Amino acid sequence: MSINKQSNEDSNSSSKRPLVEKKKVGLLGCTGTVGQRFIQLLEDHPHFEIACIGASSRSSGKTYEQVVAWKLSTPIPSKIRTITIVECVPNEFKGCVIIFSGLDASVAGEVEENFAKQGYAVFSNAKNHRMNPLVPILIPSVNPDHLNIVTAQRKKYNYPGKGCIITNANCSTTGLTVALKPIHDHFQIKKCIVFTMQAVSGAGYPGVPSLDILDNVIPYISGEEEKITAEAKKILGTLDESKTALIDADIRVSAHCNRVNVLDGHTECVSLKLGKKASPSEVEEVLKKYVPNHFHDLHSAPKKPIDVTSSQDRPQPRLDRDSGGGNTVTVGRVREDSVLDIKLVLLSHNTIIGAAGGSILNAELALHRGFI
């Protein structure tokens, strides 16, 4: 059973949407943690059908079940088990329109560019292209208008057809910016200090050695703090009138990133300095009411992009990470900050909205708006 079937009560129903012919999609990095989540989430998707899966040359020529060390609680979809893995080169993915990439950053950059140059719409989870001025770091509940810069990207790089690269954010940045968006819209965030407690699944498989993480907290994740600082400002920024440039938000961001002994779900403690004073109840109100225009046109969109909990001891990874099928960010403990203005705690599912699920939402938005 797919995770989408398990989460119908939390996810936005697609029963009112017109049926369309499924787009054939390819998946790069199919055996890794993110690749597995893509396969799980795309099972029975109404718009996308996996037609080709790619991995390294060590795995190519073998069936998926021969190679993968499957780590998710649901079984490998029967349609995927016997698919033969191919190398991550465009000629092997003929017939696909969309490429979802779960490749590691060590190889993703050039490979993803090669696919875009051949007219594929690439939805990337890697960091390589995020800070390219013409590549959007897209989160449909935060900055859907940033998708429009793809036209300028295609023109500059001469990508044919539907060719483009669209990235999602770093997993911890995603949850943070979803929660910050309505606050920034109403009260103009000036400063943000964030302390993350990040799940081990964010390090992939085999990931952090057990002797390092058991009975322990690791107060360093390579490159993570720099990603949050740069990406948050780009995501919360604006698209200029010409739709050829993204202007960073004028927010100062400081991040402390920690790996903790939790399987899934990133928890973040956030303190904010606001340009316009607001009480905790006012902040909670804008968080509760926040639903972007046309957000519910997307199949995987949850009923609420943000869920505000009134429980003093929530959010918690084990209890809240699967809210909205893993695509809802849970916010709690909104209160006054004696040093800045407001502080809160947020939780997001790092491999769903923070990775594979976020890329799928991005592709749904691009499809809905006619970019693919």
CA 237 from chain centre, in angstroms, equals: 17
The CA-to-CA distance between both ends of the chain, in Å, stands at 28
**CA nearest 125: which of 37, 248, 209?**
37
CA distance 159 to 327: 31
Long-range contacts of 84-87, Cβ-Cβ distance < 8 Å, separation of 24 or more: 85/30, 85/31, 85/53, 85/54, 85/55, 85/59, 85/60, 85/61, 86/52, 86/53, 86/54, 86/60, 87/54, 87/55, 87/56, 87/57, 87/60
**CA nearest 43: which of 10, 77, 18?**
77
| Strand-by-strand arrangement of the 98-101 sheet | 86-87, 48-55, 23-28, 98-101, 121-124, 164-167
Q: Which residues are part of the catalytic machinery?
A: 171, 266
